[in-house]
Structure 1
Amino acid sequence: MTGHTHFARSLRLHRLHHHSPSGLMVTPLDHGISDGPVVPAGLSFDQLAGQLAAAGVDAAVVHKGRVRHIRPERFARMSLIIHLNASSRQAPDPDAKYLVTAVEDAVRLGADAVSIHVNLGSQDERQQIADLGRVADACERWNLPLMAMMYPRGPHIGDPRDPALVEHAVAIAVELGADLVKTVFPDSVPDMLRLTASCPVPLLAAGGPARADRSEVVEFVDTVLSGGAVGVAMGRNIVQSASPEQLAGTVAGLVHARRHPDAMTGEEHHDRRQTLLA
């Protein structure tokens, strides 16, 4: 990698951190292809993007067509990540992800980074890992940061949160050149600490299944940050909440106040949760 390439890619990575040099809050909004519309009734995609930007979200993940329906000024305080592959849950194999956009298209659209989803253990794993490798090569050529969304998911995966499987999925992303990795929380802070210690690039925890209320979301975010994650990539728990802007602001505040877990006392963790829930 040349000095110029390193500088350009590093510059874009730093731009993702709009509100904190360490914590990173990403909201994926790429569910339209997989699940259908997820934006709350009465709210346009542009209005939702505006609420997220106002709440302190660092970056939103969208497909290429949605960019046309979001005003450019929304991205003055929030980065644009273009998602490159997709699948529909109506498909015979919904775990089979296929490319729908190229890195150079994302560059033309003004993206600050791209993302790609890989299901480790799916029947289509071979193609998805090959696509990840090709996308990583293109990101090298275009100096664009790459976020890999890595999930143990498929017919032979017994426990998708098995720490060894999650670590394997993350390792694949690192081996092929991802700058950021999004993956599932392996359900314990010690397991998360081992995972983040083994990952040389920033790791974000996926938002996971729907949670009943705001306090559960805050508790989850605080837990993954305690495990060494730089932040979260949380979509549906934000978008489908009673107040997306309010909950996004709460989560962003927690993420941007992130300190290394070893530097925080139990009392500090408690006080931070109580402040955000107030």
Structure 2
Amino acid sequence: MQIGKSVRIERIINRNTGRTIIVPMDHGVSVGPLKGLRNMRRAVNDMVKGGANAVLMHKGLVRCSHREEGGDVGLIVHLSASTSLSPTPNAKTLVGTVEDGLRLGADAVSVHVNLGDETESKMLSDLGEVASAATSWGVPVLAMVYARGPKIKDEFDPEVVAHCARMGEELGADIVKVSYTGNVETFGEVVDGCCIPVVIAGGPKLDSTRDFLQMVSDSITAGGAGLSVGRNVFQHKNRVRLVQALHKIVHEDVSVDDALKYIGE
């Protein structure tokens, strides 16, 4: 691996544990200014206080959230987008470049691909193009890969999720983000079929903090490398303490019960 990429990847993945807590904040393009993301500087500050490894956002938000003092956090600039107002919301298109990310001080870039969508071929081409450019610059790539389309009966099917993870790996991603399959055994099969770090997505906002922490803990037990979760983190009523609890689970192997006590629930 190039030395530049090695240095940058250690800014988003803990070098001692090989795991990471990434908090995506790219939702505004898709659905508008969500609760929890209206004040971006405050949102990023809270993630840093909790001990997140990285935040992820579109290029235009970096100027609204740059931190001038306090702790540090990795920055991932997201390069693809669509909106919920579109007749084809699952069709992601590139809206930035690796060079855009570098100019903003990014430690990595990310691309979203929805396998099974009618525009899958274009999204695959985009991921391949970004991965090639990122390799030239020594920049890590996070691929967010989901199965969403007419032929997809169950996007959480272990074989489908494993296909998503393997695709990201084979097209040059350095980290892949996929849906959690629901249990340790099946997610372990996803991880076993991929030689790069696999992190889980959060999916819809969960009502139970315990369920969320249990999902994260189980994914770690299965060999996963952590999480890349947005709404279940930044919309939590006590998000700083939640991230601190996630840090305990992901990087210190603390139990879910102990992590809940740490939050006060």
2:171 corresponds to which of 166, 176, 182: 176
Answer with 11-20 or 54-63: which moved more. Answer: 11-20
Write out per-residue CA displacement over residues 150-177 of structure 1, whole angstroms, 9 at most, x where no aligned residue.
1011122110011111111111111111
Aligned to 2:119: 124
Alpha-carbon separation, structure 1, partners of 2:15 and 2:50: 11
1:245 corresponds to which of 240, 243, 253: 240
What amino acid does structure 2 have at the position aligned with 1:152?
A
Whether the aligned pair in 2 keeps the contact of 1:19 and 1:58 (CA below 8 Å) is no
Write out per-residue CA displacement over residues 112-141 of structure 1, whole angstroms, 9 at most, x where no aligned residue.
000000000011100000000000001011
Deviation at 1:74, TM superposition (A): 6.4
Aligned to 1:268: none
Aligned to 1:274: 257
1:50 aligns with 2:45: yes
What amino acid does structure 1 have at the position aligned with 2:232?
N
Whether the aligned pair in 1 keeps the contact of 2:199 and 2:228 (CA below 8 Å) is yes
2:182 corresponds to which of 187, 196, 221: 187
Query: Unpaired segments of 5 or more residues in structure 2?
Result: none
1:213 corresponds to which of 208, 215, 233: 208
Percent identity among equivalent residues? 35
Aligned to 2:7: 11
2:34 corresponds to which of 38, 56, 62: 38
Aligned to 2:193: 198
What amino acid does structure 1 have at the position aligned with 2:25?
L
Aligned to 1:115: 110
Alpha-carbon separation, structure 1, partners of 2:135 and 2:172: 9
Query: Unpaired segments of 5 or more residues in structure 1?
Result: 259-270
Q: Please show how residues 144-155 of structure 1 align to structure 2 within 5 Å.
A: 144-155=139-150
Answer with 236-245 or 144-153: which moved more. Answer: 236-245
Alpha-carbon separation, structure 2, partners of 1:235 and 1:211: 11
Instruction: Give the count of matched residue pairs.
Output: 261
Whether the aligned pair in 2 keeps the contact of 1:19 and 1:56 (CA below 8 Å) is no
Whether the aligned pair in 1 keeps the contact of 2:45 and 2:67 (CA below 8 Å) is no
Alpha-carbon separation, structure 1, partners of 2:129 and 2:199: 22
1:99 aligns with 2:94: yes
What amino acid does structure 1 have at the position aligned with 2:257?
Q
Whether the aligned pair in 1 keeps the contact of 2:41 and 2:67 (CA below 8 Å) is no
TM-score calculated relative to the size of structure 1: 0.89
Alpha-carbon separation, structure 1, partners of 2:69 and 2:84: 30
Deviation at 1:75, TM superposition (A): 8.5
Deviation at 1:252, TM superposition (A): 2.1
Whether the aligned pair in 2 keeps the contact of 1:182 and 1:203 (CA below 8 Å) is yes
Whether the aligned pair in 2 keeps the contact of 1:18 and 1:77 (CA below 8 Å) is no
Write out per-residue CA displacement over residues 166-189 of structure 1, whole angstroms, 9 at most, x where no aligned residue.
111111111111100000011221
- Give the match's secondary structure for 2:83: coil
Deviation at 1:192, TM superposition (A): 0.7
RMSD: 1.7
What amino acid does structure 1 have at the position aligned with 2:149?
G
Q: 1:74 to 1:160 in 2, by over 3 A?
A: farther
Alpha-carbon separation, structure 1, partners of 2:107 and 2:7: 10
Deviation at 1:73, TM superposition (A): 3.2
Q: Please show how residues 226-241 of structure 1 align to structure 2 within 5 Å.
A: 226-241=221-236
- Give the match's secondary structure for 1:182: strand
Write out per-residue CA displacement over residues 16-59 of structure 1, whole angstroms, 9 at most, x where no aligned residue.
23585322100000000111112438x61101100101100000
Answer with 67-76 or 8-17: which moved more. Answer: 67-76
- Give the match's secondary structure for 1:73: coil
Whether the aligned pair in 1 keeps the contact of 2:49 and 2:71 (CA below 8 Å) is no
TM-score calculated relative to the size of structure 2: 0.94
Higher helix residue share: 1
